[in-house]
Amino acid sequence: MGSHQAPRFHAYFRHLLGRQVLLIARVEWEELKRTIQPGELVEIDLRPTPLASVMSGSSVVAVVAERVSPSEVVIEVYRNDPKDRPTPINRDTYGAWEQLPTHLDYRTMVISASTEDNANMRGFIADHVFLTKDDISDGHWLSELPERVRAVLRSK
């Protein structure tokens, strides 16, 4: 990770969202995101990211990503889970935020986290991309991969 750390802010960020917020160093993210273009679904490799743990112990069928805004990428991980018959494919969705989302108030977060808006805090935000897992929704259990994902896999 980068040299800037903000453990109180990170903990408050997790608390505020009510879910895990993983950090990826921006330099690692820059390498990963080179192939991700706006509105285009692409296959990516999660091994160099904190999401690599998703790959262990399960049969990952596909990992795709799509840029949905200038500062957000959606990552979809499709896993084969035979015990979920008749819908053996599980889709987990993650948001990769390259900056703090606009719906969050940075100043309020800093104050609530009992920390300071200083060079270290700004460096922490500049050094990291924030990864969050979305809640499980109706599209989590699938009987097969969506056609748009199959098309990406066929094109490689």
As averages over each run of 10 residues, the pLDDT of the chain (156 residues) reads 86 94 92 87 87 75 93 93 80 94 93 95 96 86 92 88
pLDDT score at 13 = 95
Question: Are 8 and 117 spatial neighbours (Cβ–Cβ below 8 Å)?
Answer: no
Instruction: Report domain extents, the chain.
Output: 7-154
Cα dihedral 77, 78, 80, 86 sign: positive
Cα separation values, 147 from 78, 138, 143, Å: 13, 17, 12
pLDDT score at 146 = 95
pTM, rounded to two decimals: 0.88
Burial of 156: CB neighbours in 10 Å, binned 0-12, 13-18, 19+: exposed
